[in-house]
Amino acid sequence: MQDIVDTVTSLPLLATMLAAISAFATMLALIMPMLARDRLNQRMRVMALERDKLRSQRLADLNRERVGKVKLRHTPKGYMQRIVDTFDLRSQFDNEELRNKLKMAGLRGEAPLVAFMFFRAAAPPLAFVVALIYLFFVASLEASVSMKLFYAVLAAAAGYYLPNVFIKNLAQKRQQAIKMAFPDALDMLLICVQSGMSVEAAFGKVSKEVANQSVELGEELSLTTAELSYLPDRRIAFENLAKRTALPGVKAVCTALIQAERYGTPVGQALRVMAKENRDIRMAEAEKKAAALPPKLTVPMILFFLPVLFLVILGPAAISFWKMP
């Protein structure tokens, strides 16, 4: 037994074993890179498949009905399309500014554009005819024929601007809905980014969560997610979101995201600052509305509260005075 221990612990045997281990490690270090497969192409193929899957999913979500039963794309009506093509209304009305206005109102695709051009051309003569019928046959207006024609011309002019007013009001309501829900969506986006999600995944997650609060904002974020998936430059997707919403807060966030993408600054830090600013803006607007409430209540109080108050206070005294002998 002692001979075995002496043999194992002898310096020549230990040196031989160390040399063998070193030679085996050297050979392993040289051979392993040759035997290892190139996983870069495999990872790139996996990322491409995931990207295509995400793109298909987002595009399918955009084409389905959202929570509010609103579709992003519609098919133009046949008679509207024929009238627009017959009178060549595209050359007169179709431009980039009009398309941006329709996008701000949440009207995307070819159908809203065709409908707008149709009503822009059909509203003036229709308003003129309706005004003539009302003035000459329905209303008992004592005026000359020339004045009635003048009123009808004014109605036709109002009908010309009526589609623009409708689109403007629709865009303002949509912007208000987006503005109210955007700070909460920004907080959720910050949480998703800080948890390790990518920007595309964070936008997709937030678009689903915020749709219960604001369908409009959910649609915009979902569309941005799809654009981030298939556009060659992510900057274009953020710029499109800023154009579609036309809100200062959303523009500031998009600018911060573009700068973070360009210069490599942390996205979470930029989102944290933007979230705080948007919360402060919403609080300032609420305080502004609260400060404007007393002047608005002055007239209703004078008209409705004070007469009742005087009646309650002076009524018994007046009754007692009348009953006096």
pLDDT, position 63: 58
Same-domain pairing of 237 and 279: yes
Residue 194 sits in the same domain as residue 247:
yes
pLDDT at 234: 87
Both 142 and 190 in one domain: the answer is no
Q: What pLDDT is attached to residue 70? A: 45
The DSSP secondary-structure symbol of 75 reads P
Q: Look at the pTM and tell me if it is higher than 0.75.
A: no
pLDDT below 70 — which residues of the chain?
1-10, 13-14, 28, 32-77, 325
> Quick one: 188 and 156 in the same domain?
no
**Domain-terminating residue out of 175, 191, 224:** 175
Domains of the chain: total: 2
Instruction: Report the pLDDT value the prediction gives residue 174, as an integer from 0 to 100.
Output: 92
pLDDT of residue 13: 66
Q: Would you state the pLDDT for residue 212? A: 85
Write down the pLDDT at residue 294. Answer: 87
Neighbours of 230 (CB within 10 A): 14
Q: Are residues 99 and 148 in the same domain?
A: yes
Domain check: are 155 and 234 in the same one?
Answer: no
Looking at 147, 175, 203, which one is the last position of a domain? 175
Has residue 35 been placed in a domain? Answer: no
Look up the domain containing 79 and give its range. Answer: 68-175
Amino acid letter, residue 314: L
Residue 203 placed within a domain: yes
Do 127 and 181 fall within a single domain? Answer: no
| Closest alpha carbon to 220 in 198, 204, 197, 236 | 204
CA triple 222-227-231, angle to 5 deg: 170
Angle at alpha carbon of residue 98, lines to 94 and 103, rounded to 5°: 125
